[in-house]
Amino acid sequence: MNEKYDLIVIGAGPGGYVGAIRAAQRGLKAAVIEKDKPGGVCLNIGCIPSKSLIHESNNFRLIPSLKELGVKIDAEEFDYRKVFERSRKAADTLSKGVDYLLKKNGIELIKGIATLKDSSTVLIDGDRELTARNILLATGSHPRQIPGFEFDHKQILSSDDALMLTKLPKSICILGGGAIGVEFAHIFNAFGVDVHIVEMLGHLVPLEDDDIAAELQKSFSKRGIHIHTLSKATTLKKTKTRCKITIENVEKNQETLSVDQVLVVVGRVPNTGKLGLENSGIQTDKGFIPVGDYYQTCSTGVFAVGDVVASPMLAHVASKEAQIAVEFMAGDNPQKWLDSNHIPSAVYCEPQIASFGLTEKQAKESGIPFKKATFPYRGVGKSVAVGSPEGMVKIIFDDKYKEILGCHLVGADATEIIHELLLAKKSELLPEDIASMVHAHPTLSEAVMESMRAVEGWAVHV
Ligand code: FAD
């Protein structure tokens, strides 16, 4: 039987399910095909469970401060399995929530593995056939492996494995100091695991501004996390219980680390290999699907969004791209492409990091005449009152017109605070607009106001 739809979505992650709901809102008959649980990597094995673990690890880190107050806490009975179970509960609740939202919007969720038969036909598990005017590919990505350090899921872990641990190792070496690597380093360290991070580039979170990364490294080092930058893991020797890793830095100095487990988080690979793309004439570029202004592929009617296209691998990017693609299919006139300068990036370890736009280094490379202004968290009363004085706000702005070019935060609640700055950027506001806006006292957002006053040359609390 051949069933007909306006839109078939492959993959029910933040790209796929948001795209399907937006399609239903615009009156299109949509179906979603998902081989696993609704919510994709993000809800099931990414953003959500990792943030739950981070939340519990932050609670755990409060114990010494509570003890100082005379609170008696016996952590002897601490059971990491309970932390894990809470993270699974959060993931399951939200996955069921997606199921509910799809039903509420009249979208059929079909379980199975989908492949393209041609530009308008999708095969489910090789037999059931659906046709549609449009197809949205949102099949996401999977963890990248490094030769010689292949996942065995017991000692050599992927991020999927690390999120499913019910027992903590005593020591771990994390290969990759990007956002996912530092979030896991934060979690493990908070629960008392001896953590090493190995990063090939010059600093942790290599995509972030140098000063912001330096603050994070200072904080991590203080907490006893061993950071090996400009270094790469070269060899691995496994025994039943230990992993011996040789790491080599740029000066060719070698060091051997002996740990219980290794976590490899060196990026992700788009899920495009087994989709039958060749049946609709789509060729990938380094595994990614090339797309046009509205995420349309070279095959008429077929669109692709999220981790399968070459844009930042972030849940909010996937959702926004899906919205643009579907509104285009529906005949609306949506904005083209996501402006990369308007995409917030957020890292949820402590201290948190949030940013958008140009880093200082990128501003230098761009040749745009620019200036920078910084304001330290410790300058606002709230940061001292709540015991989070570490951190700063850094603004990169156009020297002539004072246009905001980039904003970078490191410190408590940075991932929430960033949005005021992003709204200002999107609305083409100037630093003086934020500098002169009354901010509630005491709040961490006052650091944002003060950073803009610093741009204007009159920060008060430094
Ligand atoms: P996915 O979420 O990967 O969903 C794709 C779906 O397609 C999956 O459910 C898969 O089962 C299904 N699928 C694949 N192939 C087929 C097929 N042939 N047939 C049927 N179904 C198929 N991003 C953030 O923005 N913030 C964060 O804090 C954050 N934290 C992260 C933490 C970790 C540990 C990881 C691994 C990732 C994190 N990410 C985060 C990244 C985020 O999860 C991804 O960018 C996002 O999930 C991509 O969405 P997507 O819709 O493109 O794909």
Show Cβ contacts of residue 365 under 8 Å, excluding neighbours closer than 6 positions. none
Is residue 36 helix, strand or coil? coil
pLDDT tens string for the chain (462 positions)? 567 999 999 999 999 999 999 999 999 999 999 999 999 999 999 999 999 999 999 999 999 999 999 999 999 899 999 999 999 999 999 999 999 999 999 999 999 999 999 999 999 998 899 999 999 999 999 999 999 999 999 999 999 999 999 999 999 999 999 999 999 999 999 999 999 999 999 999 999 999 999 999 999 999 999 999 999 999 999 999 999 999 999 999 999 999 999 999 999 999 999 999 999 999 999 999 999 999 999 999 999 999 999 999 999 999 999 999 999 999 998 887 788 899 999 999 999 999 999 999 999 999 999 999 999 999 999 999 999 999 999 999 999 999 999 999 999 999 999 999 999 999 999 999 999 999 999 999 999 999 999 999 999 999
Instruction: Decide if 203 is catalytic.
Output: no
Question: What's the CA-to-centroid distance between 86 and ligand 1, angstroms?
Answer: 20
Task: For residue 411, give the DSSP letter.
Answer: E
Distance of alpha carbon 367 from alpha carbon 247, whole angstroms: 37
- Quick: pLDDT tens for 294-303: 999 999 999 9
Q: Contact at 8 Å (CB) between 435 and 373?
A: no
Which residue minimizes the CA distance to atom 14 of ligand 1? 139
pTM across the whole model? 0.97
Distance of alpha carbon 420 from alpha carbon 408, whole angstroms: 12
Q: Contact at 8 Å (CB) between 259 and 245?
A: yes
- Quick: pLDDT tens for 170-219: 999 999 999 999 999 999 999 999 999 999 999 999 999 999 999 999 99
Distance of alpha carbon 456 from alpha carbon 126, whole angstroms: 63
Nearest to 412, CA basis, from 352, 354, 356: 352
Q: Which of 55, 186, 441, 461 is catalytic?
A: 441
Place of tokens 């981790």: 307
The count of other CB atoms within 10 Å of the CB of residue 323 is: 23
Ligand 1 proximal residues by C-beta, below 6 Å: 10-16, 33-36, 40-42, 46-47, 50, 113-114, 138-141, 159, 180, 271, 275, 306-307, 313-316, 318
* Beta bridge partner(s), residue 303: 136, 296
Which residue minimizes the CA distance to atom 43 of ligand 1? 42
CA distances from 390 to 15, 180, 379, 410 (A): 35, 21, 10, 8
Question: What's the CA-to-centroid distance between 113 and ligand 1, angstroms?
Answer: 16
Pocket test for ligand 1, best of 22, 41, 272, 321 (most atoms within 8 A of CB): 41
Question: What's the CA-to-centroid distance between 140 and ligand 1, angstroms?
Answer: 5
Tokens of 107: 């979208």
Question: What's the CA-to-centroid distance between 190 and ligand 1, angstroms?
Answer: 26
Distance of alpha carbon 118 from alpha carbon 352, whole angstroms: 45
